[in-house]
């Protein structure tokens, strides 16, 4: 059974979908079951993916991807960053050439999880 907020990826075409209402026991794309993505939370090697949160003085939170900025190139970039609270999923869509970072209107104490998706290295989370 799917679970609210779970993310799935098609291993053939690369489609990524997020569950916003549960229902189907499985998702199918390109004639094949989609893979549920499990977020990693520990960086290894040179490239850094774990989201880093900081409160913004005056309100909101800033999230950047990696303790060292993650690449934002045409073939390898951070596609989105999401902040999850009890009743909200706030998503920033990123593009090649931009900073691997975003600001969100949320209170630090309300944040349950922050996650980001790298088009090459998959899903990562912190908090
Ligand atoms: Fe990456």
What is the Å distance from ligand 1's center to 47 Cα?
7
Residues 64 and 122 in one domain: yes
Predicted TM-score (pTM) of the model is 0.93
Q: Which of 73, 66, 70 is nearest to 97 (CA)?
A: 73
**What single DSSP character describes residue 9?**
E
What is the Å distance from ligand 1's center to 77 Cα?
6
Residues 61 and 104 in one domain: yes
What is the Å distance from ligand 1's center to 119 Cα?
7
Residues 59 and 13 in one domain: no
Containing structural domain, residue 117: 51-126
| Domain membership flag for residue 27 | yes
| Domain membership flag for residue 44 | no
Q: Give the pLDDT of the chain (127 residues) as one tens digit per residue.
A: 889 999 999 999 999 999 999 988 889 999 999 999 999 998 877 778 999 999 999 999 999 998 889 999 999 999 999 999 999 999 999 999 999 999 999 999 999 999 999 999 999 999 7
Alpha carbons 83 and 104: distance in angstroms, whole number:
8
Residues 85 and 25 in one domain: no
| Domain membership flag for residue 1 | no
What is the Å distance from ligand 1's center to 65 Cα?
10
| Domain membership flag for residue 43 | no
What is the Å distance from ligand 1's center to 20 Cα?
26
């Amino acid at each position: 059974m799917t679970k609210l907020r779970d993310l799935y990826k098609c291993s053939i075409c690369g489609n990524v979908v997020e569950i916003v209402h549960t229902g189907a026991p499985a998702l199918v794309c390109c004639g094949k079951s989609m893979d549920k993505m499990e977020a990693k939370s520990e960086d290894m090697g040179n490239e850094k993916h774990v989201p880093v949160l900081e409160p913004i003085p005056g309100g909101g939170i800033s999230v950047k991807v990696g303790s060292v900025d993650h690449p934002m190139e045409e073939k390898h970039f951070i596609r989105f960053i999401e902040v999850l609270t009890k009743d909200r999923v706030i998503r920033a869509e990123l593009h090649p050439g931009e900073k691997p970072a975003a600001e969100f209107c949320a209170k630090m104490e309300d944040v349950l999880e922050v996650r980001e998706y790298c088009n090459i290295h998959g899903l990562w989370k912190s908090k």
